[in-house]
Structure 1
Amino acid sequence: MALIREYKPGDEAKILKLFNDIFKMDRSMEHWLWKFRDNPFNTSTIALAEEADEIIGQCTLLPSAMKIGEDNITGGQSIDAMIHKDYRRQGYYEKLSLYSYELGEKKSIKFRYSFPSPSTLEGILKKLGGTLVCKIPVYVKVINANGFVAIFIKNKTLAKLFSQPINTLLRIIKKSKLKTDYKYKINEVNDFDKGFNELWLSFKDRFKNLTVRDSQYLNWRICSHPDINYRVFKATDEKLMGYIVLKLEEKRVRGKYPMKVGTIVDLIALNSTATEELISKAVEFFQENKVDYGAAWGLEHMQQTPILKKAGFIKTKGSIPFAVKGFDNSLDELLYNKSNWYLMPIETDTY
């Protein structure tokens, strides 16, 4: 029986090896330290299973400063749960999860949340006491049909030939209806100064539940990311009115068809005009960088969702589950009501 224990300094290399072996990735030590040690909101909660001096399992709670109702508290995002293939179906995932909850409570983490894959969602709900708050709709705007046509037509010349009328049709039927003459100045930024703290204070009370987006968090999450070069644009007049965070990446659709994707990772704006102009800038940026499609999240009660539709984004059949478990009953009314939440991809560790 493996030993269940808390992380201690020196475990990093073995944890990283297990992660890379299981997920077939090449995560660096720099990335691990950035995420788990240098998080500005406290050292992460890491529960480990150890057998014969080897790490064979892990569950973590990555701390996040959250505004829940009227209070700022610490939430813990469950990420990087993993069990070595030789030790699966022996109850270790459940044991590690429950132990991570125990450790988290000792560190004043008030609730656990995650954006689980469909394969892990059932276990979270049935075995770990989690609640599915909502499934976040995913919106997509096809910008270049070439990649999609190539899925069905292997000949590159024919694929390009067939994609041309499709691209023309898309421009007609899903033409952006956003304004192209901007009221605000839209500029790219490379870091988040104190003005973003003022923006946060002006925005935060529009939703009951959301991650604290002050300059400290944004500089850590966006500017200091060791692997991703995000692009950030702000809208200003006499003051900062909003910002948008964008990500470009190569993805494989259905596991084998390479496409260039642009994602709206975060968006905070003080009014609909700033929201519209920042989304318009995102579409323009995606077009300039020749992405195949742009993607965004859009809960129905969030200001940007109707504007995404106006910009030609289509609601897909895909969605992102959002599950929560409070560690006491005092927050239940706030945590489990989806209309309380402002949720964007920046909250996950996979964007």
Structure 2
Amino acid sequence: MAIVIRDAELKRDRQVMMDCLLRNRQRYEKNDAFEQRFDWAYSGNPYGEGRAWLAVDEAANKVIGFTSAFPRRMFVNGECMIGWNCADFSIDKEYRTLGAAMKLRRAAKECVDRGEFAFLYAHPNDRMRVVHEKVGHHAIGKMVRYAALLRLDQTLGAKLGNNPVAKVSAALANPLLRLMAPSRSGLDKFQFSLVQEQRFGEEYDRLFEKVKHQHSVIGSRDTEYLNWRFLRNPLYRAKSLRMQQDGELKGYVLYYEGNGIARVADAIVEGKSDETGILLAGLIHHLRKDGISSISLRLHNMNPLLAQAQQLGFRYRDDATSTVIAYASPTSPFAPVVLEGKNWFMTVGDRDI
């Protein structure tokens, strides 16, 4: 059977693409949020519409898979350019041969080679990682998950049931957890607040203008992006821990809550290891006071946040590890920087959406 690749037209092929996602991606359900997510991701992106390629079985005249890429403003050694954040790779089970998958992957790669975009990055599962490597993409690290336990109410309730014994046990154990908490040294130099932002303001732009020079490769965190990615997102609305000094924003953590867990979506801070440690210690302190049971942190394994998180008691969890890949044309002057994992600042907020 001959499989051909053609460019998708988002308006015409919207339903075909959504149907393919529903057939092949267990994370999605057919509901209003699913449709809203599609339109938000493909048409609402402040850096331009998403691009997609369809795999078509010519004999059956049907779409059997597709892949997409979303434009992302990136900074490489301080220079602004547009990269591609690859996403939504889906292919029907009976067509999951190496050939069909590689044809789809080559479509995006060839656009980078032609200079349409500076480079691409993606977060494939282990099976798809092989496909990426065969078409010439490079592994630049892994996304890993770490977690910190703040309170035992939820854990003991799950084990003992919602009864007085569990509540008394938690009341006795929680102070011990607080005694084991990281030192609050340095927290008094900054002012912290938990905020449900209605709109990210200019202070976030000013902070990113400083932070972008601390990292060789970093995706934009300007207000245009933050408001779209974290406030207009139909799947979740992020909250913010703000770290300020003398009225100026010095760092933040964006997170969303569910079942007593705060899942960190993004975090940046002006400064180096000391300021990073203070930001994360502030997060632990204020979320514990807010009644959160645990914090889940997913990020690139070479992210400088990770070393500080481990010192503060975050522990590795093996349930959410995936490869990070990147590709830049061999002729690009930025290829040596982009293809070196240690140069990247990446959180789960940089992943596909």
Q: Same fold (TM over 0.5)?
A: yes
What range describes the TM-score normalised by the shorter chain of this pair? 0.7 to 0.9
Match of 2:21 in 1: 19
Query: CA shift at 1:210, angstroms?
Result: 0.5
Distance 2:49 2:68 in 1: 11
Range moving further from structure 2, 184-193 or 101-110: 101-110
**TM-score, normalised by the number of residues in structure 2:** 0.83
1:332 aligns with 2:335: yes
Aligned to 1:347: 350
CA 285–248 in structure 1, closer or farther in 2 if over 3 Å, else same: farther
Shift of 1:97: 1.1
Q: Distance in 2 between matches of 1:148 and 1:108?
A: 50
Deviation at 1:199, TM superposition (A): 1.3
Partner of 2:265: 265
Contact 1:263 1:295 in 2 (8 A): yes
Judged with a 3 Å threshold, the aligned counterparts in structure 2 of structure 1 residues 178 and 310 are, in CA distance, closer, same or farther, namely farther
1:248, distance to aligned residue in structure 2 (A): 1.6
Q: Choose which of 237, 255, 258 in structure 2 pairs with 1:246.
A: 255
| RMSD between superposed Cα atoms in Å | 3.0
Structure 2, unmatched stretches of 5+, are: none
Give 1:107 shift: 6.9
Q: Please say if residues 147 and 297 of structure 2, whose CA atoms lie closer than 8 Å, have aligned partners that are also in contact.
A: yes
- Please point out which of 114, 117, 120 is paired with 2:122: 114
Do the aligned residues in 2 keep the contact of 1:61 with 1:104 (CA within 8 Å)?
no
* Percent identity (aligned): 18
8 Å contact from structure 1 (residues 177, 310) kept in 2: no
**1:320-350 Cα shifts (integer Å, max 9, x gaps):** 4211111334223101222211111110135
Change (3 A) 1:238 1:150: closer
Write out aligned runs for 1:56-205 (5 A).
56-89=64-97, 91-104=99-112, 108-125=116-133, 127-145=134-152, 160=166, 164=170, 170-172=177-179, 174-179=180-185, 182-187=188-193, 188=195, 189-205=197-213
Quick one: distance in 2 between partners of 1:168 and 1:100?
A: 53
Aligned partner of 1:35 in structure 2 is 41
Q: Which amino acid aligns with 1:135?
A: K
In structure 1, what residue type is equivalent to 2:254?
V
Rounded Cα–Cα distance in structure 2 between residues aligned with 1:43 and 1:58: 16
- Offset at residue 146 of structure 1 (A): 5.7
CA contact under 8 A between 1:65 and 1:72: conserved in structure 2? Answer: yes
| Change in 2 beyond 3 A, CA 1:147/1:120 | farther
Give the drift of 1:166: 6.4
Structure 1: give runs of 5+ residues left out of the alignment: 251-259
Contact 2:83 2:119 in 1 (8 A): yes
Aligned position for 1:256: none
Per-residue displacement from partner, 1:246-303 (whole Å, max 9, x unpaired)? 11235xxxxxxxxx43122111211366544542443245435644421224667655
In the alignment, the residues of structure 1 paired with residue 248 and residue 65 of structure 2 have an alpha-carbon distance, to the nearest angstrom, of 48
In 1, the alpha carbon distance for the partners of 2:162 and 2:282 equals 31
SS in 1 for 2:188: coil
The total of aligned residue pairs comes to 338
Using a 3 Å threshold, how does the CA distance of structure 1 residues 2 and 280 change in structure 2: closer, same or farther?
same
Q: Which residue of 212, 220, 223 maps to 1:215?
A: 223
SS of aligned partner of 2:226: helix
Residue 209 of structure 1, CA deviation: 0.4
Q: Post-superposition shift, 1:90?
A: 6.2
Between the aligned partners of 2:56 and 2:300, the Cα distance in structure 1 is 41
Alpha-carbon shift at residue 306 of structure 1 (Å): 4.1
Task: Identify if the C-alpha distance between structure 1 residues 42 and 209 changes in structure 2 by more than 3 Å, giving closer, same or farther.
Answer: same
Q: Do 1:190 and 1:232's aligned partners in 2 also have CA atoms closer than 8 Å?
A: no
